[in-house]
Amino acid sequence: MQDQPPATAMQYWVYELRVEEPPMTVWGEAQLAAAKSSFGAHPYPLGETNDPVYKSCLPPGVPRIYTHPFPVQILQTQEQVAMLFEYDSMRRHIYIDGCPHDTSLGPSRMGDSIGHWEGDTLVVDTINFNDKTWLDRVGHPHSDALHLTERFRRAKDHLFDDITIEDPKAFTKPWTAHLDFLLRPKWRLEEQFCEEGETFQGIEEKETTPGK
Amino acid sequence: MKKSAARLILLLFGVLFISGSLLAHHGEANYDTTTVVSVKGTVTDFQFINPHVQISLDVKTDKGEIEKWVGEARSPSMLGRIGGWDKNTIKPGDVITASGHRTKNGANFLRLIKVVLPDGREMGNL
């Protein structure tokens, strides 16, 4: 059951989208500096983090959901491609029926996604994000101007997602990341979320109570 | 992914996974990751729950005193599919050896790396 891909191709993106720093604006740099992440080069203890996911068990949003190491199930019909994430039971609905973006209910954490096929590549366009989530688990920011373009294609047991991130408030120019998923035919999605009474902050309390 | 006419296509993808010891764990700042601590004790509680599985142990010291320890592992879903666990893998009363990184402030709390079960099986990928 254990796969051993090259560590250099994999380890970094467990909590951020790529190794290189994205090209941030002054605003973006300030947001990153204010983020007290429990990951990265200088991690904060859970009791001090201001990460909305680990402080308050709030949903991660997109593209941060890709940095949480839990599986995703893809359901495909004529109307949509649905991505069901085990982490926090998040999901995305990518409408491929030709309908335009629907922003009538206001912005959301997962944004509004539409897609179309270019040969064997699914091109997904996502807008209408709110600004309540971090871009990743390190604390890189995004604003409600975030615009994602993703190109999904399969190569045998791999699913590649070439993602272009545009957000003129947070980044000085668009930048890209390459994500690689491995097909797991025998896995099933299970439940994953903060349990009542057993949150990350509750775990922090156990971790930091001096031994008796 | 080719277009489908009428049928529903289901695919399940996992992260391109590496062994558990290389995965960064949130809140790592709390732990001394340079040292592996091992304790042998009797399971008093086994919480096979989200977001993290927790194993409580009574550990007898050299002086005959009982120390209360807690070991933390990853989610039940990942323990199941990667680590080979299920809800019955251990139970209160089992004697196990738990190894992991201890919190820096001396709390009896381990971020688990390995558990040795009563029958001798070694469970990693925690």
- pLDDT score of A65: 94
Q: Which of B16, B25, B105, B110 is most worth mutating to test chain A (most A CB atoms within 10 A of its CB)?
A: B16
CATH number at B30-123:
2.40.50.140
Contacts of A38 in chain B (CB under 8 A): 26-29
The domain ranges of chain A are 7-184
Q: Tens of pLDDT along A160-201?
A: 999 999 999 999 999 999 888 888 888 889 999 887 667 777
**Closest by CA position to A108, among listed A87, A91, A121:** A91
Q: Tens of pLDDT along A51-79?
A: 999 999 999 999 999 988 888 999 999 99
Cα–Cα separations (whole angstroms), residue B58 to A62, B39, B49, B71, B115: 42, 10, 20, 11, 15
Question: Distance between CA A119 and CA A137 in Å, rounded?
Answer: 33
Cα–Cα separations (whole angstroms), residue A73 to A82, A97, A176: 8, 20, 23
Question: Distance between CA A182 and CA A153 in Å, rounded?
Answer: 12
- pLDDT score of B105: 85
Mean pLDDT of A113-137: 97
**A38·B52 Cβ contact <8 A:** no
Q: How far apart are the CA of A189 and the nearest CA of chain B, in angstroms?
A: 8
**B12·A45 Cβ contact <8 A:** no
Q: Beta strand A175-183 with B9-15: parallel, antiparallel or unpaired?
A: antiparallel
The domain ranges of chain B are 30-123
**H or E segment at B20?**
none
Residue A182 has its nearest CB partner, among B16, B28, B84, at: B16
Q: Length of chain A in residues, anyone?
A: 212
**Closest by CA position to A45, among listed A205, A192, A193, A199:** A205
Residue A121: CB partners within 8 Å, gap ≥ 6?
A151, A152, A153
**H or E segment at A54?**
helix A52-56
- pLDDT score of A2: 34
Helix then strand count (H, E) for chain A reads: 4, 8
Token pair for B5 = 């006419």
Which residues are bridge partners to A180 per DSSP?
A: A160
Cα nearest neighbour of A209 on chain B:
B107
- pLDDT score of B25: 63
Q: Give ipTM to 2 decimals.
A: 0.78
Buried b (16+ CB within 10 A) or exposed e, A61-70: bbbbbbbbbb
| Model confidence band, residue B26 (pLDDT cutoffs 50, 70, 90) | low
